[in-house]
Structure 1
Amino acid sequence: MHATAHAQRDDRPPPFRWLGPGCLEVAPGVRVWKESSARLPTELGRFEIFVFRTSLDEAEHAALRRGTPTPGTVVPVRIHSECLTGDVFSSVRCDCRAQLLHAQAALGRQPHGALLYLRQEGRGIGLSNKIRAYALQEQGLDTVEANHHLGFDDDLRRYDIAAGMLALLGIERVALYTNNPRKIAGLEAHGIEVVERRPIRVGIRPENARYLKTKKERSGHLL
């Protein structure tokens, strides 16, 4: 059974400020725009890929979209933050790759959907610091403790960029594949209506059991 997101608030912010075709402002001085797009057939379905840039840095964010939703359509969406070790090298210290493949496969079976791939490695602390955090975890710290030891909050990811990407894709209402309540709050804080939460269940391995326990007990994930 899919979980339902909390009731829509009346204090949602006004729509983004559109600056021109394919470009909008998601926060004061923060612009998001589409750079390029093309069709992308994959093993998990046929999609269209879009590349986005922002005024914050040089990072290129990507999105896979299936179908072209009409205004008001509730679109299944997954927001995935980059994880080089999991997504590319198949690390089992985390469940990132399993979640990515699960979500893409689910979206590939539906008429409409979008998968956003955000360049927010290590929950926003970057690859070098994530590997430093891994080394601290090998000394006994959990994920949150390792980030704090390095001087970071446990999660530095931002979702205004994701909300802007969705708006540029013509998506305003979503059924969000997530176990993380912060993603729901982050989207709704920037004008995207989360109509439904769809849990992602990919199982537990001995190598990531403590990581998932920390996600649940210290970061509030709904596992």
Structure 2
Amino acid sequence: MSATVRTRVRIPLRFNDGYSTTADAVTFRGLADGAEHVALVFGVPTGRPLVRMHSECLTGDVFGSARCDCGPQLREAVERISTAGGVLLYLRQEGRGIGLYNKLDAYALQDRGLDTFEANMALGLPEDGRDYTAAAQMLTALGVDTIDLLSNNPDKADQLAAHGIVVRDHVPTGVFTTANNLSYLRAKVEHSGHTIALAG
């Protein structure tokens, strides 16, 4: 199944710390999951563009929640990709694919001692329900088939490769630890092999 570009429009981006840049926001027709994912394209993504697949996180991206590292990762990715040239895929996969309400239910279980993956399982949900078929379709529709991937998550590269996207290099993100998210980050390392260097 292939996807095609629906709309491409230039938009300015500005973050709370004052950093600003511009990107082409691209929407698509024919994505496998039917969701409204969007690509932010910085420069002309030729050769081996830097690509970040960022899963939507309302609490972290918009409200600045310190329970995760999503907001800081998004901010970092935009600047790094804007500088290097490439694509940020903003994927509508809240809570590792379980949705906002379920994610908040999982937060309540985490407050009782479960880690983020255990909480999902306790709710009868997958540890990580994300599927990156649509992400590969988006890249293909943009004419991108070889990338450097900005991520600490090995599953993202594996899924892209299964759909014909060549990941030439894994570029680690920064590590954004707080007192509130350390156990969350540690669970990502222990459960899903994220390449995050945590102190202690």
The alignment's TM-score, normalised by the length of structure 1, stands at 0.82
Structure 2 residue aligned with 1:98: 72
Structure 2 residue aligned with 1:80: 54
Q: Over the residues paired in the alignment, what is the CA RMSD in angstroms?
A: 1.4
Aligned length: 191
- Structure 2 residue 116 is the aligned partner of structure 1 residue 116: no
1:85-141 residue CA offsets vs partner (Å, 9 max, x unmatched): 00011100000010000010111112x210000001111111111111011101111
**Given residue 94 of structure 2, which amino acid in structure 1 is its aligned partner?**
E
Deviation at 1:55, TM superposition (A): 5.5
**Given residue 186 of structure 1, which amino acid in structure 2 is its aligned partner?**
Q
Gaps in structure 2 of 5+ consecutive residues: 15-19
Counting only pairs closer than 5 Å after superposition, residues 61-72 of structure 1 correspond to structure 2 as 61-70=37-46
**How far apart, CA to CA, are the structure 2 residues paired with 1:115 and 1:167?**
14
Deviation at 1:170, TM superposition (A): 1.2
Structure 2 residue aligned with 1:173: 146
**Given residue 193 of structure 1, which amino acid in structure 2 is its aligned partner?**
V
Counting only pairs closer than 5 Å after superposition, residues 1-223 of structure 1 correspond to structure 2 as 25=1, 32-43=3-14, 44-54=20-30, 56=32, 58-70=34-46, 73-110=47-84, 112-223=85-196
The answer (yes or no) to whether the contact 1:53–1:59 under 8 Å persists in 2 is no
**How far apart, CA to CA, are the structure 2 residues paired with 1:114 and 1:170?**
11
Structure 2 SS opposite 1:109: helix
**How far apart, CA to CA, are the structure 1 residues paired with 2:86 and 2:171?**
13
Deviation at 1:40, TM superposition (A): 1.6
| Residues 126, 220 of structure 1: alpha-carbon distance in 2 compared, 3 angstrom cutoff | same
**Given residue 73 of structure 2, which amino acid in structure 1 is its aligned partner?**
Q
Deviation at 1:66, TM superposition (A): 1.6
The alignment's TM-score, normalised by the length of structure 2, stands at 0.91
Structure 2 residue aligned with 1:11: none
**How far apart, CA to CA, are the structure 1 residues paired with 2:137 and 2:149?**
15
**How far apart, CA to CA, are the structure 1 residues paired with 2:51 and 2:172?**
12
1:132-161 residue CA offsets vs partner (Å, 9 max, x unmatched): 101110111101110100111210101111
**Given residue 45 of structure 1, which amino acid in structure 2 is its aligned partner?**
T
* Dislocated runs of 4+, deviation >2 Å: 31-35, 41-46, 52-59, 67-70
| Residues 103, 139 of structure 1: alpha-carbon distance in 2 compared, 3 angstrom cutoff | same
The answer (yes or no) to whether the contact 1:137–1:146 under 8 Å persists in 2 is yes
Once the two structures are overlaid, the 10-residue window that deviates more, 144-153 or 52-61, is 52-61
Structure 2 SS opposite 1:74: coil
Identity value in percent = 49
| Residues 205, 69 of structure 1: alpha-carbon distance in 2 compared, 3 angstrom cutoff | closer
Of structures 1 and 2, the larger Rg is shown by 1
The answer (yes or no) to whether the contact 2:57–2:70 under 8 Å persists in 1 is yes
